[in-house]
A and B are shown apart, each in its own frame.
Chain A
């Protein structure tokens, strides 16, 4: 009996050690990034590589603003990601509300149409979309990158599931008070969905903040690039040193990581519900 316990103990320790190794390999790149971004260029590229250095500097975080138009990238990303998130939540919740709480003709085929859009790979519509935006004269504008993302099938699907789960006849109370259908949605139903809205907001924010191909294609000037697309362009050029690149990378990661720390629950919920990357 005692022998068996020792076996279990050894096995548990072995598994825990493996987990710690995986944990280390997940966290190490972040630790390395943060520490390296405070090193001098010579220390970053020195051989043999080491995590720590004798001297540290804040200069990379000052130089980065001159060598890469980082402020512009940051502003673009905020406008793009937040713009999409706000508009999409409004439109998604409106459509989700209709599908979840209302009876109307053509409901089922329309809902299937929504789900079909979820199945269309972006690369297939990408070229016609580019031509469209070009013809509308919206290439390289905020409207041009925000409008195509003004709604999402996943968002509609998520909002619908939430609206369906609310108790029956809430809207009856509003109707008795003489509210219009639109006021019922805005003043009664929408405030009830705060958890669903938060979850959806996080997913939209994360997907758009990190997206690469989409902003890369719909913007052409450096002035309009997002962080993800802008940094990817700059890495390709050998003219940029490692120090500023790392500082820029750290800055680009910080906002979402901060949101993750405070709203982890909503990230996990949203992802568990979507299971989809984009």
Chain B
């Protein structure tokens, strides 16, 4: 009886302790930080270790190999090919996506019925999975039964292989990526442009400046933060390109569209001997590339926001 009472009392005590706002906060944070610790922080540390082991997907015959995986990487032609393809994709995709989205954003930002309608429609591909988009476009672009090559024949461009052509495969993947994602970049830029006060444009109007000059001299300078944010995230996403090539080309033809992430997946999960250690080493290289850009993001995005926490 007495014991039960004591038990009760200690329970109440515990509750009162954790009911203070400065203590309750930790309870509120617990689930999230548990998840982060187990599924992000621990794997992040482990990834460095794994890249120094000889380890396969069945977790058998694990042995320490030091920097062996990284040494192999340097002489791996296929790795350098994937490295080159990833940079090629990024260098092509990011400028096209940003410029195209920016021009469209400048047009659709006004709130007329037609432009609102355009905005809604341009966003539709963003909602769709890359798998679905990839399936549809690879049939539309198919050299033998696709609508696009058929139409181009009327313009005198015959026998364009698109995804089947080693030279054109990557540019085609880029085009389809832009098609899928420009709505996203456009919407973010529209939000940026709409936040510019009208008075700037009114003043320019009085000075007799035309629409194009207003776009160059007012709009662009004032959305530089939004624009650089879009560019940085776009670069990061491009370096991680996988879905498109996995669905449409599987890295082909002749490895011309094999990207770094695709290579990580192939070496670790798709092809024997399922070399997780080596795949991890490739992932570390990718991490290093992205880390440089992340530092930029940190400067731009995080530091500004954390000051007022």
* Residue positions of A touching B, CB distance < 8 A: 15-16, 19, 22-23, 25-27, 29-30, 32-33, 44-49, 51, 90-92, 94-95, 97-99, 102-105, 107-108, 110-115, 117, 119-132, 134-135, 147-148, 150-151, 156, 180-182, 185, 206, 209-210, 212-213, 216-217, 227-229, 231-232, 235-236, 242, 245-246, 249, 252-253, 256-257, 260, 264, 267-268, 271-272, 275-277
A105 touches B188 (CB 8 A): no
Most buried by A among B138, B240, B260: B240
Chain B residues with Cβ below 8 Å from A121 are 236, 240, 286-287, 290
Contacts A/B (CB < 8 Å), 13 sampled: A94-B29, A108-B309, A121-B240, A122-B240, A123-B264, A212-B242, A227-B129, A231-B131, A232-B134, A246-B136, A252-B132, A275-B188, A277-B184
Smallest distance from the beta carbon of B295 to chain A beta carbons, Å? 9
Query: Complex Cα distance A228/B131, Å?
Result: 6
Smallest distance from the beta carbon of A34 to chain B beta carbons, Å? 10
Closest-by-CB residue of B relative to A236 is: B250
A256 touches B127 (CB 8 A): yes
Chain B residues with Cβ below 8 Å from A272 are 187-188, 190-191
B124 touches A147 (CB 8 A): no
Interface residues of B in 161-191 (CB under 8 A from A): 179, 181, 183-184, 187-188, 190-191
Question: Cβ of B61 < 8 Å from any Cβ of A?
Answer: no
Chain A residues with Cβ below 8 Å from B47 are 124-125, 127-128
Smallest distance from the beta carbon of A133 to chain B beta carbons, Å? 9
A131 touches B276 (CB 8 A): yes
From the candidates A29, A131, A249, name the one contacting B46 in the complex (CB within 8 A): A131
Question: Cβ of B118 < 8 Å from any Cβ of A?
Answer: yes
From the candidates B32, B127, B187, B265, name the one contacting A91 in the complex (CB within 8 A): B32
**If the complex has contacts A126-B283, A181-B24, A212-B129, are A94 and B236 also in contact, measured as CB distance less than 8 A?**
no
Question: Cβ of B140 < 8 Å from any Cβ of A?
Answer: yes
B contact face: mostly helix, strand, loop, or mixed? helix
B73-81, B141-149, B196-204 - interface stretch: B141-149
From the candidates A114, A131, A252, name the one contacting B131 in the complex (CB within 8 A): A252
B2-10, B37-45, B90-98 - interface stretch: B37-45
Query: Complex Cα distance A236/B115, Å?
Result: 39
Question: Cβ of B152 < 8 Å from any Cβ of A?
Answer: no
Chain A residues with Cβ below 8 Å from B82 are none
B135 touches A249 (CB 8 A): yes
Chain B residues with Cβ below 8 Å from A114 are 32, 36
Sample of 12 more A-B contacts, CB < 8 Å, known A27-B124, A95-B33, A113-B33: A22-B122, A26-B179, A94-B29, A95-B31, A127-B43, A127-B279, A128-B280, A232-B247, A249-B136, A252-B132, A260-B123, A277-B233
Interface residues of B in 214-272 (CB under 8 A from A): 229-230, 233, 236-237, 240, 242-243, 246-247, 250, 260-261, 264-265, 268-269
B136 touches A232 (CB 8 A): no
Question: Cβ of B99 < 8 Å from any Cβ of A?
Answer: no
**If the complex has contacts A104-B25, A132-B43, A206-B127, are A119 and B298 also in contact, measured as CB distance less than 8 A?**
yes
B286 touches A123 (CB 8 A): yes
B24 touches A132 (CB 8 A): no
Chain B residues with Cβ below 8 Å from A182 are 19, 24, 27
B29 touches A120 (CB 8 A): no
A105 touches B22 (CB 8 A): yes
Chain B residues with Cβ below 8 Å from A51 are 147
Question: Cβ of B104 < 8 Å from any Cβ of A?
Answer: yes
Chain A residues with Cβ below 8 Å from B122 are 22-23, 26
B147 touches A217 (CB 8 A): no
A contact face: mostly helix, strand, loop, or mixed? helix
* Residue positions of B touching A, CB distance < 8 A: 15, 18-29, 31-33, 35-36, 38-44, 46-47, 50, 57, 59, 104, 107, 114, 118, 120-140, 144-147, 150, 179, 181, 183-184, 187-188, 190-191, 229-230, 233, 236-237, 240, 242-243, 246-247, 250, 260-261, 264-265, 268-269, 276, 279-280, 283-284, 286-287, 290, 294, 297-298, 302, 305-306, 309
Chain A residues with Cβ below 8 Å from B15 are 180
Most buried by A among B121, B135, B181: B135
A129 touches B28 (CB 8 A): no
Chain A residues with Cβ below 8 Å from B131 are 210, 212, 227-229, 231-232, 235, 249, 252
Query: Complex Cα distance A234/B134, Å?
Result: 13
Closest-by-CB residue of A relative to B294 is: A119
Smallest distance from the beta carbon of B48 to chain A beta carbons, Å? 9
B104 touches A209 (CB 8 A): no
Query: Complex Cα distance A21/B187, Å?
Result: 19
B128 touches A253 (CB 8 A): yes
Query: Complex Cα distance A259/B132, Å?
Result: 17
Chain B residues with Cβ below 8 Å from A249 are 131-132, 135-136
**If the complex has contacts A123-B264, A132-B39, are A257 and B127 also in contact, measured as CB distance less than 8 A?**
yes
**If the complex has contacts A150-B31, A151-B32, A206-B127, are A127 and B50 also in contact, measured as CB distance less than 8 A?**
yes
Chain A residues with Cβ below 8 Å from B146 are 49
From the candidates B19, B21, B129, B246, name the one contacting A210 in the complex (CB within 8 A): B129
Query: Complex Cα distance A135/B50, Å?
Result: 15
B19 touches A181 (CB 8 A): yes
